Structure 1
Amino acid sequence: MINHYNAPMQKSHPIGRFAPSPTGPLHFGSLLAAVGSWLQARSRDGQWLLRIEDLDPPRVMVGADSAILRSLEAFGLYWDGAVVYQSARQEAYQAALEQLIDAGAAYGCLCTRKQIQARGRPGPAGVIYPGTCRAGLSPGKSARSWRVDSRGARIAFEDAIQGPQQADLEAEIGDFAIRRADGLFAYHLALVVDDAASGVTEVVRGQDLLACTPPQIHLQHLLGLPSPEYAHLPLAMNRHGTKLSKQTFAKALDDADPGPQLAQALGFLGHPPPAGLHGAPVAELLDWARNTWSLERIPRLAGMLSPTGE
């Protein structure tokens, strides 16, 4: 049986969000996610929230969060309310973990990464955990990490850009970690808890995160949380066919000259500004885009060459 977990949330106005990791400055790929989520919310008089996902301290670059805020302001992408930092939300994640444990939906795991690599099988998102510790730990043993039971979880949802999606979690992803062996809470758990706490009704992000949606919907169901609507944007690729990212040394945005970069982002997302707006300031470009924005105009391609030529 396939569970359709993400029924539309009851809302008067949409609430979107942008949630960058402070591992470096924003680049063109980041700008696409920011612009897409901002326009989807603002075009319907909604709110747009900002969350800094600093869950993994070793990966955080000092000063990157401030640089991200400055870039968003330079591009006219102003947010509502206070900026949320995940590093200050540990108690909420712990409460969610305990709720899952109490419900029998999560279990402790002793397995090392090496053991999982040796015993697991390949899957679309990496090696699939073989369920070694599902039956419980031996007496006197303490969990290294905590995992969510994925047995029987078949997820279906409608992506506003990419169309109908289905996933068999056990077969495709397995029992994924929600607290890692290093004691840090995992991305899926923190994201689900924070989106619900902020009342997020729609998630607009890059297509590289499409595979993250089924496990997140599964967690929403287990925690009794509503699911937002989803829209996954096409990815900007460099000339080597690799997604623009900090890991591939994508060029940082130029905050001193945001207009041309914003126009490029709008064109990439299927909304090229008219000739009359050539050289217009970002406020005018965004005002035009807000009045013409439609998800139906956004390409569904998995990836397209970035107009920046990186």
Structure 2
Amino acid sequence: MPSPALQQTAPVPPATPEVQPEPPRLRLVVGDAFPDASTAEYSDPDAGNPYSIGARRPYMTWSCLITSMIVGIMLATLSGCHWASASQNSQGAAMYNQGQYTGAMEQFRKAIASNPADPDSYYNLAATTHHLGNQRQDPNLIRQSESLYNQCLDHDPNHVDAHRGLAVLLVDSGRPDRAFTLMKNWAAQNPTLAEPRIELARLYEEHGEPQVALKYLEDAVQSDANNPRAWLALARLREHEGDPVQALQNYQHALQVGGGSLGPNATMATERVAALSRQINSARDAQLNAGGTQMATPEFGSTRY
């Protein structure tokens, strides 16, 4: 099985494209850019003035100054942590893409050390460890990746990629019931969130239950009518199940609500709208031609014309 970072769903007929993932991906997150307080210069404009506030109320002035310095140091530290983690994640992703998985894992470990609260660093390390564990058929690496997925979810309970990766791992290791429980619990804890239902639908479809998958996708678009990913998944499934009219409407709706956020899926959805429109129009033309549209010959004579 491929790693969760590169997971592909089961192939489908050419007429039914696979929605590009949001992607199973190595997530690169750049931290907030805080000013570097460590290099800031401070001066006291009232130095030497006996009538300044500092001279009259030294405690208040020094307490404010110390507080400001502490805040500055904290901001600088946070900025350094975020930027170091982002840089290490970026280097790890580059190594991953080059097939240097051991080096990538080391960079992701450094990213976690730089910013232990960043869920994406745990996900990156989990996905890479999972991939390498599958490659080497190493159960120890698989167990490590399972632990890392859970650590990611400890920091971000709604991390989509971590849920997906963990579900794949559970299925691959002979625990599909645990995978379904994971997704159902996630959905139950987030009744207004579409993502758990999208992933649960994916799981049911991969296990040969498209009608159950369809139900969850319908729930997803009801939970969040502006989620383009839910509409794309619903469109693809309906097209695969032989409902081109509904599929066309769903693709169109995905493009309408998705705007520029669809990325490569926008091109795919536009192509499917064009293809399904041609298919539906051709079917209607064929039905009209075969449905007795030829004019009947009058059975009576007339001398009026």
Which structure has more helix as a fraction of its residues?
2
Which structure has more strand as a fraction of its residues?
1
Q: Which has the larger radius of gyration?
A: 2
Normalising by structure 2, we get a TM-score of 0.24
